[in-house]
Amino acid sequence: MKKLTIIFMAMLCTILVFAQGNDPILGKWENPSGEGRVEITKRGDQYFGKLYWIKDASKKDEKNPDEALRSRHIQGLEILKNFSKKGKGYEGGEIYDPKSGKTYSCKMTLKGDDLLDIRGFIGISLLGRTETWKRIK
């Protein structure tokens, strides 16, 4: 009986370690208009998102407040930066909007396995807007 308990505990620990390492936010997501797709990755204990595909790959970052960056392509930009996991959400990060050239505070919340609410805001979360992105499979 003691061996069975030890085996069961070892299996349970393995499952818990695997579950913690399998973060559901990681992967590829599409914005509501279908014009852009972002891949969310983890570096260290923070999360980042790169715009890996856009409908018009020739678009440049023309609205960027830094004049030196206006000639770079939007495709390939890291638009989500420095998010930390807080419970079921991801907070403390920023989102860059290439359409306006502005950077906003942001939080992300999973809604099931395949929907992700992205809320960009100024100052407090109450002053912002939310988009729901769909997972790319």
Query: pLDDT at residue 3 above 60?
Result: no
Low-confidence winner among 27-31, 43-47, 121-125 (lowest mean pLDDT): 121-125
What are the boundaries of each domain within the chain?
24-135
Task: Indicate the fold that domain 24-135 takes in CATH.
Answer: Lipocalin (2.40.128)
Mean pLDDT of the chain: 87
What's the pLDDT band for 132 if we cut at 50, 70, 90? Answer: very high
Query: Using CA atoms, how far apart are residues 99 and 81, in angstroms rounded to an integer?
Result: 17
Q: What is the mean predicted confidence (pLDDT) over 3-20?
A: 39
CA distances from 136 to 1, 24, 31, 32, 108 (A): 46, 13, 10, 12, 17
Q: What local confidence, expressed as pLDDT, does residue 49 receive?
A: 98
